[in-house]
Amino acid sequence: MGISPRSRWSNRDESSYKEKTSGNRSRIRPVAGQWDKPFADASASMLIVGQLTSLATLAMIHAGKYPDSGSLENASWSLGESAFLATAGFGISSFLCLFKVSFSRKAPRRRRRMARIWLLSFLLVAQVT
């Protein structure tokens, strides 16, 4: 009594042993337990959001200061408390978006470099403004 050649591991490449898959591969469903994780790298959109919010923050800082205050000691806020809180919220969200992109492992190297440069320049301009 011998072993049939179809039961050997070397014959597993035959088409009769391959699993039959459906022809419709365009419908790939996400795993139900991983609905909160993004499918692709979201660093590009995070970088754009960080850049836009940093520009908005700098514009709000510039609009909120008194025009007469030349030095940092005499700087005061001309708009109300709610405008100051909105400016702080925009600044924090910009910082967090750019910080997340600058240390993302999935982001390309040039995008991480751009986020770091933008973050440093944003902090520098915010200090000077």
For residue 55, the model assigns a pLDDT of 95
Residue 16 φ then ψ, to 5°: -70, -25
Which tens digit of pLDDT belongs to each residue from 5-61?
Answer: 555 555 555 666 556 655 555 556 555 666 665 555 788 899 999 999 999 999 998
Any idea what DSSP says for residue 15?
Answer: T
Q: Give residue 38's region: left, alpha or beta (phi > 0; psi -120 to 50).
A: beta
**Cβ distance 50 to 118 under 8 Å?**
yes
The amino acid that residue 56 corresponds to is: A
- What pLDDT does 49 receive? 94
Could you give the CA distance from residue 99 to residue 90 in angstroms, rounded to a whole number?
14
- Answer yes or no: pTM beyond 0.85: no
